[in-house]
Every structure is written in C-alpha cells, then in structure tokens.
Structure 1
Amino acid sequence: MRPLNANEIDRLSRLLAKAVDFSQLERMVFLATGDRLFVEYVGPGLPLRPTIEKLIEALERDAVTERLAAVVYREKPFQTELRGFLLQLYPQIAPAAQAPTPSFVVQDAGLRRPDLADGGPGLQRVVKPALKQIDLRLWLDRADAISRQVCRIEADNAPLGTGFLVGSGLVLTNWHVIDEARKRGALARLGCRFDFNRLADGGVEAGTLVPVTGVLDERPCSPAELTATPDVPPPEADELDYALLELSEATKARGFVALKPAPPIAKDDPLIIVQHPQGDSLKFALDTAAVTGFVHQDLRLRYHTNTLPGSSGSPCFSMELDLVALHHLGDPARGPALYNQGVPIDRVRASLVARGQGDRLGL
C-alpha cells in the first residue's frame, strides 16, 4: 500500500472535516485502531481540520490509514464525495459483492403457484424500509455526545428555548427566542444551561450555566410566523429564524454538532428532536414516520415529532443522528395540531457562511 502524498492528505482532511465532528472522529478512530484519538495520535486543543491532518500523518507513519478509511466509508453512506475519494485511494475497502438472494418457487402438488411467485419462507421481513437497523453502541455514544451539546436558553432563571453547540463556545438557536429576551430587557443576562438532566432517582441535575456574551449573527422568522396564520404570506429566502450566540468560555471538551450538509430526507422518514420542552430537563422525542415534506419552496420542513413551548431552537436529527433542521414552530391552529416545523439546516448553514461566520464554525 503506497503512502499518501501531501495533496491527498490535504484533500482527505478537508473532506473529513466537512463530514465529521470531534465526537464522531474519536469514535471512528477507536473503531479503526482500538486507540484513543487524543491519547495515541493528537494532542487536544487544535481545531478540527488540523487535528485530522495530524491524525492522518500519524496513521500514515503506522501504515494503518486504510483502516480509518474503511470505517469512514461504512459509517458515512451519504457523503458521496468523501466516499468516492476514499475509493480512489483504497479501492479494496469497497464492500464485497453480496451473496445472491436465494430464489424460491412455491408449488402445490408439484405445480407452481403463480400467485405466490418468488415467494419464500421467512419469519422476519422489512416492513418500513426507512427505518434502518442501527449499530446500538455507536448510536448510544453519539446520543450521549449530543446530550452534552444541547442546552436550555434562559434569562434570570426563566427558560426561553433550546439551543445547541455548533462550535467551541458557539450556540445556535431561534431568532425569536433571542427576540423574546430583548423584549424582556434581559438580553444582557442571557445564558445557556448545559447538563440539565433528570437523574435515575427522580432528582434533577442543575447543570452548568454559561453566560452569553453576544449575538454574532441572526436572521428573523417571517412576520406571519408570529401569528395564527404562519403561511400567509410565506417566508422570504432570508427569513430563517436563527441566532448564533457567543458564550463567555470555550466548550471544546463538549464537542459540537457539525453544520455539515444534511442527508437526503423524504416523506415518512423518522425524525428525532432533542429539546428542553417547557424548560424541563433534557428530553428527546421520536416519530418513526415523522416527515411530511418540504414547504414554501423548501424553506421549511414539516414533521409530526412532538414539541412543546421551550422546544424552539432544538436540533432535529435523522434516525442516524445526522442534523437535518432547526426546529422553530408548531401548528397554531385550534384543535389537533397537524404539524411541527423546522428550518432546513442547509439553509442556515449557507446563510452563516455567506454572512462571514464560516471560519468560526470551521466550515
């Protein structure tokens, strides 16, 4: 196996930095090598991309880069550019051709039953193709990381919404959450409370309150979305209802939810929302057939996953815990609610980059 040249290491590190966050990188390194990223390969404290570059250099010295490539290829099925480049470097990591599926012919008294053609025995079937089988340990590790990255937005101990880390010391939430703090005259006392969790004995862990020192960027929701008729008129392209907050301290040890391109999402896909509903301890809500589709020229995503007041600004994830949207409102109609709604994360990401925040987020 030939070593990678400088250009290949540079391109690979760029693609990996777009596809993974620190917690995912740590897990993949452990799966590939059995060693800990910050113990055996790279010292802590560097931004993500330099960390990846130094990791690849270390793996090259040990001639084991292919092991990491195989894990990344398997774990990132939607990262087509990255996977394509990995196959160029290591064609041997492509999965072996699957064994052909046995073909059954059902007969009755020696005659083929055309009504049961191609049928066969089986006690198990895939009933909902959108619900993939997931590696439990990997999923739980990722969920545990996310639980440290989602926070309650509050001022004067009063909950306002939910937010989540998108970089060291950077929290993403809804604009209308921050606007409420402004209306209360409490913006200078805004804070993010991490690790606010329910304990096994029924008690509550108070968590850690980190003050907010500023609003780095924000885009409002549409005026109609603050009324009982949120669709009339529909939102404009720059009405994305987000705010990027700067905290008073770095949060490198927590990692963050990377604002990478979202995976494809379709009707009836599952959707998970990690949230602080009604300002309560951290919860997650799941609907296994949640997504109803995009509306308003793909400026909004609608789904059935449950939320409550206080959930505004929550991250919405696919079943594989890839970020897909920023939750921001629910159906205001009287009677049974028909939908909840979020802003597609790709729209938020593009706006942040266009408005000069990409370097802060490591994009």
Structure 2
Amino acid sequence: MSELALRCTNRERKWRGAATRRGAMPRLMERGSLKPVDRLTMRKVLRDAFKTPPRMKDLLLAINRDFDDYYGMGDDYPEAVQKLVDRANEELWWMELLAAAHTARPTDPLLAEFAAEFNLAPIPVETTARGTERIPAGDLEAKVRAANPMLDVLVWRTRLGEIEGRVCRVECPPGKARGTGFLVGPDVVITNYHVVKDVIDGTWAPEHVLLRFDYKVLSDGVKLGEDKTYSLAADWLIDHSPYSAHDLEAIPTGEPAVDELDYALMRTAGAPGREPLFPGDPNSAARGWIEVPPGRAELDFGRQKALFIVQHPDGKPMQVALDTDSITGVFGNQTRLRYRTNTEGGSSGSPCFGPDWQWIALHHSGDPMYGGPQYPARWNQGILVSAIVNLLEQRGKLVALGSR
C-alpha cells in the first residue's frame, strides 16, 4: 500500500472510530418488519414507479418471484400492490423488493427518498459538531436550495440517482475495498493512483482487481440484491499520474507539479456504461457515465462554495456528503482544490460535484496533520478535473473519456 493510501486510511479510520463512539454515523438497517405508515408509503412509491401490472411483473421476475401470486381474481392493481407489500413484509423480503425497485428506477426521486430511509439508496449526510450525521428528509430541501437556489430537491435526487449507478468500489483482492472509482466512459473507470499503485507497480496482478457496482449490504454483513462486478481489460491501464511528495507534507514546502495528479484511468472488461442498470427490466436505462464538464471556463470558487461528494465508505451504504460552505481554496497552479466536506475510509477516488452536479474534482486526500478529535482536519483535498483533462490532452489520451 502506498504511503498516501496508508495515511488516508489511518486518518479516516481514526475519524470514523470517533464518530461511531459518538453514535453520529447512520446505522446500517437491520432486517425486520415495516411500520404501518411505511407500508402505506411503500405501496404508493411502488405503484407510482411501476405504473402497470406488466412492469411490476418484470420487477418481481428479476428477483425470482411471480406477481401473479399476489394478483387475485377481481383485484385491481392498487389492491394487488397492497397484497404484494403486505406479503413481503410478513415474509421479511420487503428490503429485497425495495432494493430491486430502486435499482430498476434509480432516478425516481420519491422512491429514492424512501429507499434512503432504509440505507438502500445514497444517504445524504453532513458534518456537524458531533461528526457526520444523516440529513433528515425534511431538511434536505433547505440544504439543496442553500447550495443552489435554482435546484429543486426532486431534480437533485433524480440527478443523484443517475450518478449512483456509475460509482463503484475498487477492490484488490476481490472483497477487500481499496477505494472508490467511477465511470467516465462506457468502459473507462477513474480512481486515485494511490488506490491501485500496487497493481501499477506489479505487486498485485491486474486480475486481482474487481470493480463492484450497485453494492448494498446490511449491518449483519449480508448483501442485499444483486451487485455487478467487472474485471480489468487486458490492456487495462490507459494512463496514470502519481501523487506528489508535497501531498504528504503537514506544512507543504511547494505545490505539486502539473503532472502529479494522483489518478489512474482504467479500461474495464466489458462496457458497464452501455449495459442496463437492471437487466431483468426491459424498460431499464443504461448505466451511463459521468461526463467531463463542457468547455474550459474557469469556475468561480470564490462565489461557488458548495460541494457534494458521492462516496463508497468501507462496508457501508453509499453516501453523498453535502456542505454548502465547503470550498476553501485552489492551488495557484490549478491542480488541487481544498474543501471542508468530510469523507470516510474508502472515499479515495470519489467524484466531487458542484451545486449543479457538475463534476469538478477527484477526491484524493485529507489533512496530514489530522490526529483524531483532538486535532481536527483543517481540510480535504481533490484533484481538479480541469488539470486532469489538460494532462490527458497533452498525452493524447483525452479520447478515452466518453464525453469527448
């Protein structure tokens, strides 16, 4: 493991341990029965997301169940969905049903909001004096509007649903999370150089790397639903750029060079970006990929302070960390962005977004002086997308990105 990876892991493990002792982190959902009010909500969001019996039938077939078992003679569609949810609740497979429904319709904002209540969709979190805490559904709209007054919370959730399926866990060996990655082309994933340094330098063979999408797990360690995994292609390494020695300095003595950007661009075996998110559903959208922002316009970080990070914490559901007053500065050579938005172990390689969901940075490290609650982190740090694009263009590798 690289020195930067080790520092990131130790720093985030200390922070996570402190937050857990305070009880600040959202708990992974235990399996159990739904409350009556939640059963009513689940019936409604399922009916709205799957508006006809054939579409509900496709959903049930994908989890090896038959909707006809819940659709009696003389029942109308709402009655059938009611019986479906009641039966799933009684037999304790409602979480499997809800997880499958969200995977099939990730951009349905009301379904996503309900699924997030049970950690089955990305959990909005924020940093408080007590650590990282879940943002209650009733407070999320105010947070979103504070970040971007023109953005409605339903539109915000819809965009998050699109992004969710494009973010993966990077594992090496399979089952051991090293960091986060995300699709930037049909068959191209980007992560930090330090996440896969051991593979690049030959310590681990590329065959040991696994990219895991749609990862959902309960607090007892049981996986829920079907995740999708991809290996690396034979010609897997498209381009890479190491981190800088200055990234390891508590008090930096200089700026990283413009070719020290801590990224690795990797080609996958197969094209996950073009494949359906939910293969059992003929109406499923393709997974897609995160696009490079158009043009080369400079972003006004003096005015634009909000930052969202979609991260895959170790062994936990996906989170989106929000901070409406996050960005604190940009390096003079436009390679690094510093911000307050907190991250957890496993977040190296996560995408950072501005308030309009424009991809602006690749998260890669935190404050080297961080030492737990007694020595709070002064900042987190990401690599600006514009710097990565410039270097790829100089090297003739920009064509690898799907939006180009």
TM-score, length-scaled by structure 2: 0.54
Q: Which has the larger radius of gyration?
A: 1
SS in 2 for 1:171: strand
Q: How many residues are aligned here?
A: 237
Larger RCO (CA under 8 A, 6+ residues apart)? 2
Q: Shift of residue 235 of structure 1? A: 0.4
Native 8 Å contact 2:250 2:367 kept in 1: no
The 5 A counterparts of 1:1-363 are 131-156=148-173, 157-182=175-200, 184-198=203-217, 204-205=223-224, 207-213=227-233, 214-225=236-247, 227-229=248-250, 231-251=252-272, 252=274, 253-261=286-294, 264-267=299-302, 269-333=305-369, 334=371, 335-361=375-401, 362-363=403-404
SS in 1 for 2:381: strand
**Structure 1 pair 170–269 and aligned structure 2 pair: CA distance change class (3 A):** same
Farther-moved stretch of structure 1 (329-338 vs 206-215): 206-215
Native 8 Å contact 1:219 1:238 kept in 2: yes
SS in 2 for 1:256: coil
The one-letter code sitting in structure 2 at the alignment partner of 1:350 is N
Distance in 1 of aligned mates of 2:326 and 2:249: 23
Distance in 1 of aligned mates of 2:157 and 2:397: 31
SS in 1 for 2:333: coil
SS in 2 for 1:278: coil
TM-score, length-scaled by structure 1: 0.60
The one-letter code sitting in structure 2 at the alignment partner of 1:345 is V
Distance in 2 of aligned mates of 1:131 and 1:161: 29
Q: Shift of residue 331 of structure 1? A: 0.5
SS in 1 for 2:257: coil
Native 8 Å contact 1:198 1:282 kept in 2: no
Distance in 2 of aligned mates of 1:274 and 1:258: 15
SS in 2 for 1:264: coil
**Structure 1 pair 294–145 and aligned structure 2 pair: CA distance change class (3 A):** same
Question: Kindly, what percent of the aligned residue pairs are identical?
Answer: 38
Native 8 Å contact 1:131 1:269 kept in 2: no
Q: What whole-Å deviation, never above 9, does each CA across 1:73-107 have from its counterpart, x for those lacking one?
A: xxxxxxxxxxxxxxxxxxxxxxxxxxxxxxxxxxx
The one-letter code sitting in structure 2 at the alignment partner of 1:177 is V
Structure 2: where are the runs of 5+ without partners?
A: 1-144, 275-285
The one-letter code sitting in structure 1 at the alignment partner of 2:313 is P
Distance in 2 of aligned mates of 1:315 and 1:298: 17
Q: What whole-Å deviation, never above 9, does each CA across 1:234-280 have from its counterpart, x for those lacking one?
A: 20111111110100001212111001247724246111000112353
SS in 2 for 1:359: helix
Q: Shift of residue 353 of structure 1? A: 2.3
Q: Shift of residue 209 of structure 1? A: 1.2
Match of 2:87 in 1: none
Distance in 2 of aligned mates of 1:230 and 1:204: 42
Q: What whole-Å deviation, never above 9, does each CA across 1:40-64 have from its counterpart, x for those lacking one?
A: xxxxxxxxxxxxxxxxxxxxxxxxx
Structure 1: where are the runs of 5+ without partners?
A: 1-127
Q: Shift of residue 223 of structure 1? A: 2.2
Q: Shift of residue 357 of structure 1? A: 2.1
Native 8 Å contact 1:216 1:245 kept in 2: yes
Q: What whole-Å deviation, never above 9, does each CA across 1:164-219 have from its counterpart, x for those lacking one?
A: 10000100111111104456524331121000135799964361110012111001
Native 8 Å contact 1:152 1:279 kept in 2: no
Q: Shift of residue 296 of structure 1? A: 4.1
The one-letter code sitting in structure 2 at the alignment partner of 1:271 is L
Farther-moved stretch of structure 1 (268-277 vs 130-139): 130-139
SS in 1 for 2:204: coil
Native 8 Å contact 1:161 1:279 kept in 2: no
The one-letter code sitting in structure 2 at the alignment partner of 1:254 is R
Farther-moved stretch of structure 1 (310-319 vs 189-198): 189-198
